[in-house]
Amino acid sequence: FIPVTGVQTCALPISGFNASRSEDAIKFATEFGKVLIMPIMLEAVIRVRASRGIRLSAFHGNFFIRSTDLLALPTVAEDMNYVMELQLEDDLKSAFVVLQTAMLHTSCYGERRIRVITQALPTTDSIAELYASADQIAIAAYLTNKAVERSMTGSLDDARALAANKLADMLTVYKNQATSSTGASAQLAVPLNLQLLPLLMCGLVKHVGLREGASIPPDLRSYAQALLTTLPCQALVPYIHPCFYSLHNMPPEAGTIGEHGVILPPSLNLTSERLERHGLFLIEDGQNIFLWVGHEAVPRLIQDVFDLPSYGDLTGGKYTLPTLDNPFNQRINAIVAKTRELRRGVYRPHLYVVKSDAEPALRSWALSLLIEDRMDHMSSYAQFLTTVKSKVNGGS
């Protein structure tokens, strides 16, 4: 029902929602309020055209396919993601190809309008030039949609294998056609503009929408898959590759106002090796924000951030940070607010305080965002790269 009507999904789990809790009430009011005031388009149809020799072979997103190049969308939100696959039918002779997307719709003010986006792209017969112009974020969005689609027609194993195999196939062609390397290589050859793609694919195969786990409720997996296929690229990237900051020793300028707003701390690699027993860390994926507090955190840190005497007085779970009259607390609050501001859309991330000796479920949830670590039966990022490298060398 949801894909055909073109709408997006917001989830408030019944088991964890309590309207009398301020954190839940604020989240619901904020998200519902954004939905009510969001400008939307109604009764829309989208037609995509391409130059001769290019055919549209598949569409991904929330819509109804009316014909081979016509999509019907009863509603269109402002921050939805759509993926369209192109297939070459003939050799391209011209120096450019042209793609055009036209959307006829009714605005939320009752006006019938049309929007046309036309893009001309150069052609090339050089594999090296082709790879140099590739967009790793667009590729990640495409493979994410393909993997979720495979999970619905096959199994979760098939979906994860698709993402890893497609990555290996791309890097095999690059190694064989765009580099001088022959035979097995000690290093995995990746173009500079695709350096993040292997890590994004590692995050995808470990994502709650695709990973195995008896503890993952079906509703949670379905919601995660809905987000994977509808989030715009700006929100999809942190959803599969979370952000990780150290707050207790952040630079003096972090959390203050700079030329482009609040300055965020430097990002850390997504591994638990960066966690310190006395530290305070922030992990976020656009849907949830976790403040990880080490069990040896000094009382001064707990007092400045949470207005509590010591670590033992701190309670984990959903939390609203107090606003205190000290610079460190104000910087932490500014970073949390900036993080929420960056994740455009209707979603307002919950803030969770996670004590390093917290209940296992909450602790495991936060640690599952550190995608470079080994997770249950799933490999670490280093092991994932080794597997991909073996496939690339095997295809050379």
3-state secondary structure string across 138-203: HHHHHHHHHHHHHHHHCCHHHHHHHHHHHHHHHHHHHHHHHCCCCCCCCCCCCCHHHCCHHHHHHH
Per the prediction, the chain carries an average pLDDT of 90
Specify the pLDDT at position 140.
97
- Domains assigned to the chain: 2-123 (2.60.40.1670), 136-234+379-394 (1.20.120.730), 242-367 (3.40.20.10)
- pTM summary value: 0.91
Specify the pLDDT at position 78.
81
Cα–Cα distances (Å) from 208 to 27, 164, 167, 205, 214, in that order, read 22, 16, 20, 9, 11
In the chain, the percentage of residues whose pLDDT exceeds 90 is 66
Gyration radius from the chain CA atoms: 23
Across residues 188-192, what is the average pLDDT?
91
Mind listing the pLDDT tens digit for each residue in 12-44?
A: 665 567 777 888 888 889 888 988 888 888 999
Mind listing the pLDDT tens digit for each residue in 57-70?
A: 988 888 888 888 88
* Rounded CA separation 346/385 (Å): 35
Across residues 120-144, what is the average pLDDT?
94
Q: Based on the number of CB atoms within 10 Å of its own CB, is 179 exposed (0-12), middle (13-18) or buried (19 or more)?
A: middle
Nearest to 285 by CA among 339, 355, 360, 233: 339
> How many CB atoms neighbour CB 21 within 10 A?
14
Specify the pLDDT at position 3.
60
Torsion 329-330-332-336 (CA) sign: positive
Question: Which amino acid, 163?
Answer: A
Torsion 171-174-177-180 (CA) sign: negative
Q: Based on the number of CB atoms within 10 Å of its own CB, is 63 exposed (0-12), middle (13-18) or buried (19 or more)?
A: buried
Among the residue ranges 61-70, 242-251, 288-297, 349-358, the one predicted with the least confidence is: 61-70
Across residues 293-303, what is the average pLDDT?
95
Question: Kindly report the CA angle at 137 between 352 and 363, in degrees rounded to 5?
Answer: 20
Specify the pLDDT at position 238.
96
Whether the per-residue pLDDT at 7 is higher than 70: the answer is no
| 63, 72 Cβ separation under 8 angstroms | yes
Helix axes 197-205, 136-153, angle to 10 degrees: 20
Q: Based on the number of CB atoms within 10 Å of its own CB, is 285 exposed (0-12), middle (13-18) or buried (19 or more)?
A: buried
* Rounded CA separation 200/347 (Å): 22
Whether the per-residue pLDDT at 1 is higher than 50: the answer is no
* Rounded CA separation 71/3 (Å): 12
Q: How is residue 224 written in tokens? A: 């995660």
Specify the pLDDT at position 396.
58
Question: Which amino acid, 34?
Answer: K
Q: Based on the number of CB atoms within 10 Å of its own CB, is 284 exposed (0-12), middle (13-18) or buried (19 or more)?
A: buried
Mind listing the pLDDT tens digit for each residue in 201-224?
A: 999 999 999 998 878 888 889 999
Give exposure, 113-150, as e/b (b: 16+ Cβ within 10 Å). eeeeeeeeeeeeeeeeebbeeeebeebbbbbbbbbbbb
| 64, 71 Cβ separation under 8 angstroms | yes
Q: Where residue 237 falls among pLDDT bands split at 50, 70, 90?
A: very high
Mind listing the pLDDT tens digit for each residue in 47-105?
A: 999 999 999 898 888 888 888 888 998 888 888 888 999 999 888 889 999 999 999 99
